[in-house]
Structure 1
Amino acid sequence: MPTILGIDLGTTNSSCAVYDGRDVVIIPNDRGSRTTPSVIAVTGAGEILVGESARNQALVNPRGTIKNAKRLMGSREGLPLGSRSLLPEEALSYVLRQLKEDAERYLATEVNEAVITVPAYFSEAQRRATRSAGKLAGLTVRRLLNEPTAAAIAWAWAYNNNLKNPDGENHTVLVYDLGGGTFDATVLAMRGNDSRVISTAGDNRLGGTDFDELLLKEALAFFEEALGRDSIAGDPVLIQQLSDLVERSKIELSSRDSVTLVLPFAGLKGQAHPSWTISRSYFEGLISAHIEKTLELSKQALSDGGLSIKAVDRLVLSGGSSRIPLVRRRLAELFGLEPEGRVNPEEIVAYGASVFAALSAGVGGDFKVQDAVSRSFGLEIDGDVFIPLISKNTPIPVQKSRIFTTVADDQSTVEIHVLQGESKRASENLSLGRFILSGIRPCKRGEPRINVEFSIDDDEILQVRARDLDSHLEQSVTIAVESEEPGSDRRRLRSLIDHLSSLLDVAQGDRTLEGELEETLASAEKLLLSLEHDPPGSPDHRNGAAEMELTLRA
């Protein structure tokens, strides 16, 4: 049987695990650590570094280092890495490849498959980007598993004694997942070895990294008051050094009442090593608004599931930031519960992913998990109206359809604009893609019947099919990743043009290479010109396929 890894691809740290037939093993990296920093770097010689080696040199090479790439997953924004530019999924593929190599070294066998976890509130575009990262790393991604679901599986596995003696009782479990870059609150109904996601809420831009930034801002203000304006902010090496100190101090404040930050040799005579002492209470004051937001999202998840706070009888913590004393104190005050133990919060997601990987391969038991979609999926109709076909928290896999019609007489084409979100206004939701259904017979508006079908698989990957019920013409599409950052394609093209121009200078004298570079440069400039003249979404950019901005109505 092939080895299937369970991978927790985190914002700040990543880890992997495997079920060996008896228990779950957290796989150490080549340095013996059970987690690997989600950091990549390039040296002056062009060598790619991943993990601790990349993080350790960030102080002297900040412009050649990428951190927190997970926060940009699903966008097309290029991340600078020395003279190169990588998409977020390309950057994280290096982290996944490192985990794969560490696993192969530790297990002494080839590893080609994995279950990779994602935040429950990841969009469809972000999920596709994660799959792409796995493929680039040489992995077949058997399943994308929501991180809180993985944490719940890990807890259930440990609680039920490896599922051999399930207690058979009903439990309502809240998984509070506060990681380095994201937050999810997920409510599950569990009985023995059956688990069902009831609801989820979250924020893809809320986590320990935000706490670091708040503390860094305060530290920067203190040291620059002592050393002079821009004395640190204007020095990338010093700002990176202070960032590292801030992150370590935040972690120490979970077990100490105060901590002192020291910037060695940063000061003038008489103050060669300036320092700043911060108390836990001061830090808690800085982050309290963020923690309260996580509690509000937890209550929202319960409300969406039609449950009260009192309905929760098990509290499972996931993510390193869940160790912060303020988090545990506020959760105890709100729910009246102590968090479940048995699994390390930093390892619980990889642990659960490995259990799920084993179960999906028919090993280890008959634990059943039914997940739910984290966002609503639908399409745009006339008047900037969003019509959801699959509502948030619907169990998956799922398939739903609805009949639509045209908005103009003799309309021969319709544009299907697929969206994800909760707003009633289409323009306020995330655009996932567009496609055209043509060949509609000429008739009065409102007469054609167009059946639009949405289906979502276990990975929350969406497929859309549109069919004219009169002509039986049909178009179907697996929605491609669409940029969440308007203009990012043009920015990447400009960056490529600049890079090609610099290469031309270096290639002088080599006529063959010069010719190839000039041809590529001309093509890139022509494409950039067309994008700036006919931006994505314009009728010309869509080759005139849709003559109307909105072509459907319910």
Structure 2
Amino acid sequence: MVEQQPGDITYRYIVGIDLGTTNSALAFVDLEAQQAPGKARIRLLEIPQLVAAGQLGKRRVLPSFLYLPGQYDLPQGAAALPWAPDRDFLVGEFARDQGALVPGRLVSSAKSWLCHAGVDRVAPILPWGAHGDVPTLSPVAASALYLQHLRETWNQTMARGRDECNLEEQLIVLTVPASFDEVARELTVAAAAQAGLNQVVLLEEPLAAFYSWLSANESGWREKLAADRIILVCDVGGGTTDFTLVATREGAHGLRFDRLAVGDHLMLGGDNMDLTLARHLEIQMLGQPGRLEPKRWHQLTHQCRRAKEILLGSGDGQERIEVTVMGGGGRLIADTLKGGLTRGEVNQWILEGFFPEVSLDADPSEKVRTGISEWGLPYVRDPAVTRHLAGFWRRHLPLLEQEIEGRGAASLYPDYVLFNGGALTPATVRARLREVVAHWFR
């Protein structure tokens, strides 16, 4: 059992929430459960959510999407939940899938809107570009609805009528990008309060990733780390990319970890990679881009995501994944499209397009990418993560020279690289990043 200090507020659970750009997740520790001495078991909540009209399913993540149905979009009661039978909006997997068919009613990337200083973040601006009878709400309100869903599902599945076990009665650690400014952090806390969660502690995502590594290496991390070392945290998620530099220091009670530098919150991630594969495959199937209607485009993108994960992460030698896009209506079979992705194609378009081998003096391209500004968010123009990383390192080299004692500019390099985010799950992607960074300092 994990002991609480005298005088502390007593919590049954410590809950961690990752309110992500593309997906959100919730993990927890039961402080009253019997554990090995000094060690608490971290568990992931399987999140109940609508996966189709009137169909409830449990998923490891809650897709961070909100759908605002029109009067005739869905059958009556399609958005109802067991604990909210009159619910008139969708959150999660069904929201994401329905929004692919009617994108004008879909709210996405609320987290990125929270840190977009170029807009009024408390104004009802989402869905961006909404018109007609589409209701609108602020990035704060959208984020609050995701957190509200997590609170409701926790209280249904974990508390089960025990008020002291409700999520709002627990200690909640909510992660935020290190690049969030004070306004974005305050708005995140405000969103949590709107969702009924008032006992919230913010934790920067790079530190959360680092703590996760420490937990996984609890018995041996002290032998692996030394003082005055540089840790580069690369976080490439579904929708965003963040870089952080952390230094190890000798403290009064052993090593301490200081965040030295934070990069910009880049609108670039795994979703961009899936769309790139889908666009190439659409050209392969139909001869030119932009010809698939929303429903079939969503099918194609989903299958490309699956193919990417298999071909980049598979160790079984699988070289090709078949992709089938079904027709619609009375031409279900006649209009079916078939194609495929090979390991070589995925490596070319993902590794060479998003993680190319570049020199340390490379700069992100300023060439304008078409179709970006209409989305409202400041998407990056260059999809090469490695070029953004090179620029990040060079910008902060003078700071490292000041902060890291006893190491001149020639001996400054990342002693450790910590990977975080779903887009960096495939071993081939991590290997490419390691190769690129190692080449810079040979």
Q: TM-score, normalised by structure 1?
A: 0.53
Q: Could you report, residue by residue, the CA deviation over 1:366-393 in whole angstroms, capped at 9, with x for unpaired residues?
A: xxxxxxxxxxxxxxxxxxxxxxxxxxxx
Separation (CA, whole Å) in 1 of partners of 2:28 and 2:44: 7
Q: Distance in 2 between matches of 1:28 and 1:161?
A: 29
Which residue number corresponds to residue 291 of structure 1?
A: 385
Farther off after superposition, 260-269 or 281-290: 260-269
Match of 1:358 in 2: none
- 1:445-524 to 2 correspondences below 5 Å: none
Could you tell me how far apart the structure 2 residues matched to 1:66 and 1:200 are?
Answer: 27
How big is the alpha-carbon RMSD for the aligned residues of Structure 1 and Structure 2? 3.3
Go from structure 1 to structure 2 and tell me whether the alpha carbon gap of 1:301 and 1:317 turns closer, same or farther (over 3 Å shift): farther
Whole-Å separation in 2 of the counterparts to 1:185 and 1:73: 19
Give yes or no for contact 1:180–1:319 (8 Å, CA) kept in 2: yes
Counterpart of 2:400 (choices 305, 321, 326) is 305
Q: Does 1:280 align with 2:355?
A: no
- What CA deviation, in whole Å up to 9, does each residue of 1:492-542 have, x standing for no partner? xxxxxxxxxxxxxxxxxxxxxxxxxxxxxxxxxxxxxxxxxxxxxxxxxxx
- For 1:485, the equivalent position in structure 2 comes to none
Distance 1:195 1:128, change over 3 A: same
Tell me if the contact between 1:200 and 1:301 (Cα under 8 Å) persists in the aligned partners. Answer: no
Equivalent of 1:71, from 112, 134, 148?
112
Q: Residues 25-44 of structure 1: matches in 2 within 5 Å? A: 25-30=43-48, 31-43=57-69, 44=74
Identify if the C-alpha distance between structure 1 residues 221 and 158 changes in structure 2 by more than 3 Å, giving closer, same or farther: same
> Which of the residues 195, 201, 207 maps onto 2:269?
207
Return closer, same or farther for 1:156/1:230 CA change in 2, 3 Å cut-off.
Answer: closer
Among 27, 37, 40, the residue aligned to 1:17: 27
8 Å contact kept, 1:71–1:204: no
SS in 2 for 1:100: helix
Does 1:264 pair with 2:315? Answer: no
In structure 2, relative to structure 1, the CA distance for the partners of 1:72 and 1:253 (3 Å cut) is farther
Give 1:103's aligned amino acid: W
What secondary structure does 1:244 align onto? helix
Partners of 1:291 and 1:327 within 8 A in 2? no
Runs (5+) with no aligned partner, structure 1? 338-554
1:388-420 Cα distance to aligned partner (Å, 9 max, x none): xxxxxxxxxxxxxxxxxxxxxxxxxxxxxxxxx
SS in 2 for 1:101: helix
Q: Percent identity of the aligned residues? A: 26
Distance 1:166 1:104, change over 3 A: farther
1:323 matches 2:415:
no
Contact 2:29-2:42 at 8 Å conserved across structures: yes
Q: Can you list the C-alpha shifts for 1:71-129, whole angstroms capped at 9, x where unaligned? A: 22243332149721122221221111122233334432112252221222223333233
Other structure's SS at 1:169 match: coil
Deviation of 1:296 (Å): 1.3
- Residues 153, 259 of structure 1: CA spacing in aligned structure 2 closer, same or farther, 3 A cutoff? same
In structure 2, runs of 5+ residues without a counterpart are 1-9, 32-39, 49-56, 77-86, 160-164, 357-382
Partner of 2:15 in structure 1?
5
Question: How has the CA–CA distance of structure 1 residues 127 and 271 changed in structure 2, closer, same or farther, with 3 Å as cutoff?
Answer: same
Rate the CA distance shift 1:33–1:269 in 2: closer, same or farther, 3 A.
Answer: closer
Asked whether 1:134 is paired with 2:192, we answer: yes
1:297 is displaced (CA, Å) by: 4.6
> Which residue does the alignment assign to 1:196?
258
Alignment of 1:11-410 (within 5 A): 11-21=21-31, 22-30=40-48, 31-43=57-69, 44=74, 45=76, 47-74=88-115, 75-76=119-120, 77-79=125-127, 80=130, 83-108=134-159, 109-112=165-168, 113-140=171-198, 142-161=200-219, 169-170=226-227, 171-190=229-248, 192=254, 194-225=256-287, 231-232=291-292, 235-256=293-314, 257-265=319-327, 272-278=335-341, 279-284=345-350, 285-287=352-354, 288=356, 290-297=384-391, 299-300=393-394, 303=397, 304-306=399-401, 311-336=413-438
Pairs aligned (count)? 332
* CA offsets 1:321-355 (integer angstroms, 9 cap, x no match): 11245531232214449xxxxxxxxxxxxxxxxxx
CA gap 1:156/1:41 in 2 versus in 1, 3 angstroms: same
TM superposition score normalised by structure 2: 0.65
Deviation of residue 157 (structure 1)? 2.9
> Cα 1:168–1:177, aligned 2, differ >3 Å: closer, same or farther?
closer
The 1-side partners of 2:19 and 2:255 are apart by 26
Kindly indicate whether structure 1 or structure 2 has the higher relative contact order, using CA contacts under 8 Å at least 6 residues apart.
1
Find the structure with the greater CA-based Rg.
1
After superposition, the Cα gap between the structure-2 partners of 1:179 and 1:42, relative to the gap in structure 1 and judged at 3 Å, is same
| 1:291 to partner: Cα distance | 2.7
Query: 1:125/1:242 Cα in 2 relative to 1: closer, same or farther (>3 Å)?
Result: farther
Q: Deviations over 1:235-287 (max 9, x none)?
A: 33333333333333333332254433321126989963222323222322332
